[in-house]
Structure formats: C-alpha cells, structure tokens
C-alpha cells in the first residue's frame, strides 16, 4: 500500500516512521508551520523525508488544483492527517483511493473542534477520547469512525500526560486501522448527526488561562492542569505586577475555620505557598516568574501579607 502523510505534530511523524519501518511506501509528506507546543517542527519532517527519499511539501496550497494534480500522480491508496491547518476540500479528499483518515483528540461526535483535551479537563470529564475517522470534505471532524481509544482522567492528570499518551497511541491506531483496511476487516461507525450529541469546542488562547482566585480550588486546579506544559501555563500576578506562571498545584484542606480574601497567601506547606480560593485552598507546587523562569514560590512567600491577583 502507498500512504501519504498530511499534517503536523510528533504523533504524525511517529506514524510515518512506524509505517516506513513496517514496509509501507510513503510517496509524499505534506506539512506546514508547526505550533510551538508540538515538540516537533517542519525541519524534522524535512529531515525524515530526506532520509527515506520521499517528496516533501511545506505550504498551505494543498487544496489548489495544481497541487492536487501533483498529489494524484502518486496514486496513493490512503492519506493520513493530523492537525492540518485548514479544511480539506473535495478535490484533495478524492485524490486517494480510500480518502483521508484523520486522528482527532476527542470522543467524536462529542468534542469536535479545537483544544478538545484541554476542554475535557476543564469540563471535569472522566476520560479523553481519541478518534481516527474518515475526513468528510469541507467539514470539521465529521466522517465515519475507524477506531476509538480512551485515556482515563484522574484528579491530578495534567495535559502533558495526555499528549505523551497520544504520541504513542496515534501511530498504533493508524497502523491498526491500515491493517484492518488491508485485511478487509474495517468496522466503520457512522457519527451521530443529532445536535444534542455534538459538542463544538472553540480555540483557547494563552490569556484564557488567567487565574480568577474567586473561583473554587477545584476549578482553578482544573485550569492549571489544562494549561500546563506543553502550553504556556496558568498565570496570575504579584501585587508588584510581576507575572507568575503556575505549572502544578494541589488542593488542600484547612484545619479549622478561617477568613481570608481570594488570592491571599495563607501559609507555607513544604516550602510551597497555600493560596485562598473562592472556595477552598490550593498549594502551588511548581511555579515560575515570567521575567526569570525561576521558581516563584520564594517570591510569593516573602510575606504572608502577599496576594495574588
């Protein structure tokens, strides 16, 4: 079988490496500029394409008629996609015998769109879905489901753990689906079109991770877990205006009754500041100052009169 590669991220590059190792022909690799949190960029795609002597494209012209004609000449059986930047239209989707499969970090049709694993943590889900599905031209995260897998979320699961899991699991799922296709054992499932079963997730920006200390410790803890590495982190400010990035935290219980203002530093526990929230307390275990990237806990603990804003 001949399989094209369209997209970005380390998980898709790992997929291409796995397929090459298993003896599949990869006639072309098509990528574009990576996001900073991908842990993999277009140069790594280029170097891999050179190493296997395959054609390499890096632009956003994939839906152009000339580019479609070029890609059709490869006569690929299938193309695999992940995190492509634009909708793939009819022409490119019809350029491969079995179309294009996409890996999506969401339990389709629930959690369609952007930042789905982050939204799932914020939404207090019990698990995060990972779906391989056929791409329906001009549409977002629709098309028949090829395979699904799930990652269980616990109270202290951080987004980095989800991404680590996806880097390993996505190549395995693509490979399993291809073997099923080759052996004529695919069991595709139609996605529901009932709007009550579809949850559309919209993009999150770094400023969306600013902490509002009037929220409960549970809600703030979710925000920290959903915003941590490989993203920019949840953040707040010292009273002097210095930006503090919170990477990890723990919910704690206060012994006895108390009165405090949300954002106030109450005391230190194991060298970590304990902060009052709108409901409950939060211990900041890993934090840094934006100005120096140093541990911010010492600055926060300079005075118990300190407040985070």
The domain that holds 228 is classified in CATH as 3.10.25.10
pLDDT of residue 300: 84
Same domain membership, residue 51 and residue 162: yes
- Reply yes or no on whether the pLDDT at 91 is more than 90: yes
Listed residues 176, 201, 226: the one ending a domain: 201
Selected residue with higher pLDDT from 11 and 292 = 11
Listed residues 201, 232, 263: the one ending a domain: 201
Same domain membership, residue 175 and residue 51: yes
Percent share of the chain, pLDDT over 90: 88
Same domain membership, residue 79 and residue 11: yes
159: exposed, middle or buried (C-beta count within 10 Å: 0-12, 13-18, 19+)?
buried
pLDDT of residue 240: 87
Same domain membership, residue 71 and residue 87: yes
Q: Is residue 238 part of a domain?
A: yes
Does this model's pTM top 0.75? My answer is yes
pLDDT of residue 294: 75
Q: Which residue range(s) make up the domain with 231?
A: 206-300
């Amino acid at each position: 079988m001949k399989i094209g590669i369209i997209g970005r991220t380390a998980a898709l590059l790992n997929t291409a490496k796995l397929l090459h190792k298993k003896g599949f022909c990869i006639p072309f690799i098509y990528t574009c500029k990576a996001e900073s949190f991908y842990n993999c960029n277009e140069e790594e795609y280029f170097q891999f394409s050179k190493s296997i002597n395959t054609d390499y494209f890096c632009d956003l012209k994939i839906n152009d008629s000339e580019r479609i004609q070029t890609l059709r000449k490869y006569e690929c059986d299938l193309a695999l996609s992940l995190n492509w930047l634009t909708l793939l239209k009819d022409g490119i989707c019809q350029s491969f015998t079995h179309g294009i499969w996409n890996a999506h970090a969401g339990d389709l049709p629930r959690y369609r769109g952007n930042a789905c694993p982050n939204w799932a943590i914020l939404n207090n889900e019990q698990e995060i879905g990972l779906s391989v599905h056929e791409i329906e031209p001009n549409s977002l995260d629709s098309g028949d489901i090829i395979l699904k897998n799930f990652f269980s979320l616990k109270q202290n699961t951080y987004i980095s753990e989800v991404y680590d899991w996806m880097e390993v699991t996505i190549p395995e799922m693509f490979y399993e689906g291809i073997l099923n296709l080759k052996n004529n054992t695919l069991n595709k499932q139609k996605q529901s079109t009932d709007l009550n079963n579809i949850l559309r997730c919209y993009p999150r920006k770094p400023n969306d991770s600013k902490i509002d200390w009037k929220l409960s410790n549970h809600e703030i803890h979710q925000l920290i877990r959903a915003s941590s590495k490989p993203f920019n982190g949840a953040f707040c400010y010292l009273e002097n205006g210095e930006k503090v990035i919170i990477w990890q935290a723990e919910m704690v219980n206060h012994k006895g009754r108390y009165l405090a203002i949300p954002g106030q530093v109450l005391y230190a526990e194991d060298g970590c500041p304990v902060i009052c929230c709108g409901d409950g307390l939060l211990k900041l275990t890993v934090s840094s100052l934006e100005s120096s990237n140093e541990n911010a806990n010492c600055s926060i603990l300079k005075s118990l009169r300190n407040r985070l804003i």
